[in-house]
């Protein structure tokens, strides 16, 4: 077996230090490619000095080659590269897809057959294939990835949470009081998302939230917003909002303030006895 590669070198914006990405146009329109990584420092520096992957002409940025130690590249693949939600990343000039759009782009460029591996979202066969190719170039044993449902769902959840964090804002609006910041101490709040329409999903909200629980409601709503990217919420649906011993069931319904917005409201609270976990009260 070849020697293990202890580090990879990633191209970054010299000014900001952020990984470099390219937004494709034309046939690959909407496809994000990056980061660009190399197992040899000299290759990374050569690519930074002459970035052939960028459009020809004057460049607005200067690139640098930054060392990424250990399994940082693998962690990036599993958790998603920040700050972009990349479709394809590059390792030693080979293109490896991370999304269905990326698979279509790579197949169009190289004639491979990545797209069938992305057909089943709950069984990410593509992830095992990507990591196998990465492990070969890093000189390590093939990384074992079990494409079971739990792995797939957690991977999807991580990506959804990053999308919500980047593109969606969650605001509390007082349900009582007037302008100029005059809000009664007893006021409740309507906590609402702004930005879900970017993903073709309705905005979400919770109403009647006491002031002391606004932050918790914002965190909770962000979680449901991420969930809705992969599992669209529907009017009349009942959601399980927490775990044992106390389970809060939430009902999804059109908001009384805006029928295009879905409101998540407490529907039922179920207590599961610690002594008799099968008994519900």
Taking the whole predicted model, whether its pTM rises above 0.75 is answered as: no
Rounded to an integer, what distance in angstroms lies between the CA atom of residue 84 and that of residue 238? Answer: 33
Tens digits of per-residue pLDDT, 224-234?
A: 999 999 889 99
C-alpha torsion sign, points 161, 163, 165, 169: negative
In this prediction, residue 272 has a pLDDT band, given cuts at 50, 70 and 90, of low
Rounded to an integer, what distance in angstroms lies between the CA atom of residue 132 and that of residue 120? Answer: 19
Average pLDDT over residues 32-52: 89
Looking at residue 201, its pLDDT comes to 94
Average pLDDT over residues 245-253: 79
The 10 Å Cβ neighbour count of residue 10 is 26
Looking at residue 110, its pLDDT comes to 80
Q: What are the counts of helices (DSSP H) followed by strands (DSSP E) for the chain?
A: 6, 12
Rounded to an integer, what distance in angstroms lies between the CA atom of residue 213 and that of residue 211? Answer: 5
Rounded to an integer, what distance in angstroms lies between the CA atom of residue 127 and that of residue 113? Answer: 14
Rounded to an integer, what distance in angstroms lies between the CA atom of residue 147 and that of residue 156? Answer: 13
In this prediction, residue 150 has a pLDDT band, given cuts at 50, 70 and 90, of low
189 membership: H or E segment, kind and range: strand 188-194
Looking at residue 278, its pLDDT comes to 35
Percentage of the chain with pLDDT > 90?
Answer: 26
In this prediction, residue 142 has a pLDDT band, given cuts at 50, 70 and 90, of low
Name which of 220, 85, 69 is nearest 77 in CA terms.
Answer: 85
Length of the chain, please? 281
Angle between helices 149-167 and 214-230 (to 10 degrees): 120
Distances in Å between the alpha carbon of 99 and those of 68, 96, 104, 119, 163?
23, 10, 9, 10, 14
Peptide bond into 84 cis (omega under 30): no
- The residues near 18 (Cβ < 8 Å, ≥ 6 apart) are 12, 83
Looking at residue 158, its pLDDT comes to 80
pLDDT at 91 over 90: yes
Rounded to an integer, what distance in angstroms lies between the CA atom of residue 80 and that of residue 85? Answer: 7
């Amino acid at each position: 077996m070849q020697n293990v590669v202890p580090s990879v070198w990633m191209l970054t914006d010299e000014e900001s230090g952020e990984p470099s990405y390219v937004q494709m146009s034309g046939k690959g329109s909407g496809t994000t490619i990056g980061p660009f990584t190399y197992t040899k420092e000299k290759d990374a520096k050569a690519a930074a000095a002459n970035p052939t992957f960028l459009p020809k002409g004057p460049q607005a940025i200067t690139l640098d080659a930054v060392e990424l130690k250990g399994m940082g590249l693998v962690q990036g693949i599993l958790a998603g590269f920040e700050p972009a939600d990349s479709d394809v990343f590059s390792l030693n000039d080979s293109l490896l897809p991370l999304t269905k759009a990326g698979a279509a782009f790579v197949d169009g460029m190289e004639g491979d057959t990545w797209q069938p591996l992305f057909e089943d979202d709950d069984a990410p066969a593509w992830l095992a294939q990507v990591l196998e190719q990465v492990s070969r170039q890093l000189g390590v044993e093939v990384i074992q990835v079990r494409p079971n449902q739990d792995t797939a769902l957690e991977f999807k959840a991580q990506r959804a949470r990053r999308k919500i964090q980047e593109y969606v804002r969650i605001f509390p609006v007082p349900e009582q009081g007037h302008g100029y910041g005059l809000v009664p101490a007893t006021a409740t709040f309507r906590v609402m998302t702004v930005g879900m329409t970017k993903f073709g999903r309705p905005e979400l909200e919770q109403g009647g939230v006491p002031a002391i629980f606004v932050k918790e409601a914002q965190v909770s709503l962000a979680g449901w917003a991420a969930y809705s990217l992969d599992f669209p919420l529907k009017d009349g649906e009942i959601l399980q909002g927490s775990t044992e011993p106390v389970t809060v069931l939430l009902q999804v319904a059109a908001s009384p303030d805006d029928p295009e917005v879905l409101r998540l409201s407490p529907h039922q609270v179920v207590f599961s006895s610690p002594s008799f976990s099968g008994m519900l009260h």
